[in-house]
Structure 1
Amino acid sequence: MQLNLSHITYTYPGASEAAIANVSVTFPAGWTGIIGDNGCGKTTLALVTAGLIAPDTGTVTPKLFGAYCPQDSSIEPDNLMDFASDWSPEAIDARAKLEVDDSWLWDFSNLSGGQQKRVQIACALSRRPDVLIMDEPTNDLDAATRAMVAEALASFQGVGLLISHDRALLNRLVGQCLTFEDGRALMRPGGFDQVSAQTASERETALREKAAAKREAQRLHAEAVRRSEAASQSKARLSASKVAKGDSDTRERLGRAKVSGKDGIAGQASASFASRLQRAEERAGAIAVSKRYDSRISIYGGPASAKTVAHCEATVLHAGDFSLRVPELWVGPTDHIGLAGRNGTGKSTLVRHLLARVPETVRVAYVPQSASEAQREDALARLHAMDAANAGRVLGLVAGLNSDPDRLLDGADTSPGEMRKLILAEQLLGEPNLLVLDEPTNHLDLGSIEALEAMLAEYPGALILVSHDPLLVESACSLHWTIEPSAAGENAFELNVR
């Protein structure tokens, strides 16, 4: 079994450029990774492959039954109610592999992001599709749940497409990767580490070759200028314009020199050299090097003047049958706090509770775990309403996060990763004293994560970082809050501070 895409092009309504253009690729049975920077067209290709959007040109053959699991965990699967009532072996197996509680299926909107993602994946697997497309399946998931998802997906026997920035998952599942590089889609063998190393090596080689070609063109240009000047001087010496009309001997001598002398050879060599220079410049221009951004973010914001930017009395937070015991909490003006815990243990609930107790004098920047469609539209509207100076600052931050700012200005097919960068950039523009980020690496490409990590480590104000990325937390935070099970009951948890 395999799936063939031939000359696929798709442009979103209102967009000035195609999201994907003339992509031809064959997906064999097994898992293929689809990797690339935010906004390069990965999700668009997935939607075309799944038959959810029709390409402007090109074909997808043969006609296979596909299932698509979207990036956004909050999107309810369209077969959720069927799955809730389905006790076939496939449905039972999907529930078991992802440890989906039956009660979750009747209360999807109130589940945590990680629980919603598990339900989404279980619903997709239960359909027994020929083609299974997973778009960032480990967003919102803790380490243990990521391992569970990896095992569940490894059992799939059809054509699998995995869009992910999760290096461990890609290395665990895929046998080849489709990479998006400067508008081109290239299939490369191997998992993420192998493909990433090959891509980086090719880019370094191209950079060296381009630099050498430019140096050669510059050398030839300098030599061409020298020879052109020599030829001009020769032409002036050989000119008969000032020779008397009756001086036939001098005119004959100059004519012989033009044809056979050093001066004539210099003129011919200059013309030949110009041709060599043109070829050298064409070679330098023909060497393509994949475009990258600076991947650095300017620091905005600073410590609050108050001794405390947030204070929470000891309490117990409740949500349904869930409870979280919280000790008295203080957040200082330069504290960097990492908040960790399994999915569904109340991290986002605690963040909202704490934010409600921040003094009005403290400027807060908050980027939630996921943004609604209305929030995304508001972010784009704010960008277009900004004056040139502030818009430039926001777009500069977006560029520092490894994305093309022009795509945000276009706005027609903004990816979730690009939108997350825009929301973060707009929040930073307010010069916050307290920065609160709930799973900030969701949807971000690897270059963006590295840039974010560097910025957070240097951020001078207070930081509360909710993340399942241990490297990010370790780099950015010196204080750690961890939610762990409590002896008070099955759905009881407590916050430990260290």
Structure 2
Amino acid sequence: MAQPIMLTLSHIDFTYPGTPEPLFEDISVSFPQGWTAVLGDNGIGKSTLAAIATGCLTPDAGSVSPAPVRLVIAVCPQSTDEVPDNLEDFAADWSPEALSVRQALRLDDGWLYRYDTLSGGEAKRVQIACALAKRPDLLVLDEPTNHVDEPTRNAIAAAMGGFRGIGVLISHDADLIDATCGRSLIFERRHVGHRNVTVANVYQGGYTQANAQRRANDERDAGLLRSARREHERLRGAQAERFRQVQHANAARDNGGRRIDPKDHDARGALHLAKATSLDSGASRAYAQLDGRIAAAERKAASLSVAAKRYDGDIWMDAEPSHRAELVRIGPGVVRFGDAAIVADDATLADGRTPGPDGSPDCVGRCSYLHVDGGLWRVSAEGDGCDRAGGIVGVRIPLLSVGPRDHIGLTGPNGLGKSTI
């Protein structure tokens, strides 16, 4: 079929088996061509809605149009542990489109043949490349920039910019959303009447613009609710005053002609009112009308929705540093990729060679290097550039000692060995 210009989810209900309440009810939203960000708290239903849109989950009620089975769909999951199902096909694809994807994501061709050894950022680039290579009608990216460095984030944004289908981006990365998305779907908890419900509202713009509009709407809705409650209280007060007047008038009417003190203005006013009105006259009708107006004000206040209250707080635990002077000591030597084994400076390698005193590549190929500067550990690709062993195979480390009160920052580009360390 021709590429669709809109994916529409109508009146979607969904409840996970075994849970007492629906995750969401009566959610309706459309995804046009281009990128739409899906935002909201963890666990509120973002990934579930995407799974319904892609046909991975069936809703309890509602419909998806066009049906997912009629679309070419690609999903890039949050975890990089999932190897793309078309990895081998993409590795053998040298079409102009595939080359364009490789260039946008700055892929090393060798990455496609050693996926299980890639860093998180490298694996994420390959995942997205394989998803784009399917030329999907609908592409879902779930948190694509978690734990990636700035070059990888820029490459992902560039690749997203070249996609012309329907794109759904589930992310907390405000900068990525602002750079790539023209619409934002925000899942929100709203308080209506006496219960909280999940709603999905669409705003124009990326993260910054959408959140500014959402906050403005929240302030407006809170103001409307305050006004409705004030009107309700005003009418209740007017009703109480009207009731007092009618009761006072009836009492004065029932006075039976007894003389009223000329200075008792309330009694004289009540008598005058009693002569002009009765429970069956205009005062009674006005009182009844107030009942209707109060009921209408109650219904209006109950129908207004406002942002549900949030209860953010801290968790406090009793903890103290270890009494040991040193918790970890490793090195000096080379931490080898793959098995995370440390080749010590005085060790003998399996092939009979020994590591050089400076971690030279004579022993293990070209290495990354870890430099320690106070509490900051920097991993870089410095060295003599030798790659006789076929690329980076380990990280050269000095003697590292970690104490019970140390705070350590570990930094460096993707793929140089931070996770290995």
Question: Does 2:163 correspond to 1:160?
Answer: no
Q: Which residue of 1 aligns with 2:301?
A: 284
Q: Which residue of 2 aligns with 1:343?
A: 414
After alignment, is 208-217 or 134-143 more displaced?
Answer: 208-217
Question: Does 2:334 correspond to 1:319?
Answer: no
Q: Which residue of 1 aligns with 2:345?
A: none
How many residues of Structure 1 are paired with residues of Structure 2 in the alignment? 338
In 2 relative to 1, CA 84–191 (structure 1 residues): closer, same or farther, beyond 3 Å?
same
Q: CA deviation digits over 1:362-418, x for unaligned, max 9?
A: xxxxxxxxxxxxxxxxxxxxxxxxxxxxxxxxxxxxxxxxxxxxxxxxxxxxxxxxx
Q: Which residue of 2 aligns with 1:3?
A: 6
1:151 positional shift: 0.7
1:257 positional shift: 6.9
Q: Which residue of 1 aligns with 2:214?
A: 199
Question: Does 2:53 correspond to 1:46?
Answer: no
1:20/1:44 contact within 8 Å kept? no
Q: CA deviation digits over 1:220-279, x for unaligned, max 9?
A: 4344345444544555555699x9xxxxxxxxxx99975724887665544443433333
2:53/2:64 contact within 8 Å kept? no
Residue type at the aligned position of 1:173: T
Question: Does 2:65 correspond to 1:60?
Answer: yes
1:203 positional shift: 0.5
Q: Which residue of 1 aligns with 2:232?
A: 217
In 2 relative to 1, CA 160–234 (structure 1 residues): closer, same or farther, beyond 3 Å?
same
2:221/2:304 contact within 8 Å kept? yes
Question: Does 2:101 correspond to 1:94?
Answer: yes
Residue type at the aligned position of 2:233: Q
Residue type at the aligned position of 1:109: D
Q: Which residue of 2 aligns with 1:186?
A: 201
Q: Which residue of 2 aligns with 1:306?
A: 323
In 2 relative to 1, CA 238–302 (structure 1 residues): closer, same or farther, beyond 3 Å?
farther
Q: Which residue of 2 aligns with 1:362?
A: none
Whole-angstrom distance in 1 between the partners of 2:217 and 2:36: 21
CA-atom RMSD in angstroms: 3.2
1:311 positional shift: 3.9
Question: Does 2:304 correspond to 1:297?
Answer: no
1:79 positional shift: 1.6
Seq. identity, %:
37
In 2 relative to 1, CA 303–270 (structure 1 residues): closer, same or farther, beyond 3 Å?
farther
Whole-angstrom distance in 1 between the partners of 2:237 and 2:206: 46
Stretches of structure 1 lacking an aligned partner (at least 5 in a row): 244-253, 351-498
After alignment, is 130-139 or 19-28 more displaced?
Answer: 19-28
Question: Does 2:332 correspond to 1:329?
Answer: no
Whole-angstrom distance in 1 between the partners of 2:284 and 2:248: 10
1:55 positional shift: 3.5
Whole-angstrom distance in 2 between the partners of 1:41 and 1:258: 63
Q: Secondary structure at the match of 1:348?
A: coil
Question: Does 2:276 correspond to 1:260?
Answer: yes
Residue type at the aligned position of 1:319: F
Query: What is the TM-score with the length of structure 2 in the denominator?
Result: 0.70
2:252/2:271 contact within 8 Å kept? no
For the pair shown, the structure with the greater C-alpha radius of gyration is 2
Stretches of structure 2 lacking an aligned partner (at least 5 in a row): 190-197, 259-269, 339-392
Question: Does 2:47 correspond to 1:69?
Answer: no
Q: CA deviation digits over 1:462-487, x for unaligned, max 9?
A: xxxxxxxxxxxxxxxxxxxxxxxxxx
Whole-angstrom distance in 2 between the partners of 1:50 and 1:278: 45
Whole-angstrom distance in 2 between the partners of 1:109 and 1:162: 25
Question: Does 2:192 correspond to 1:177?
Answer: no
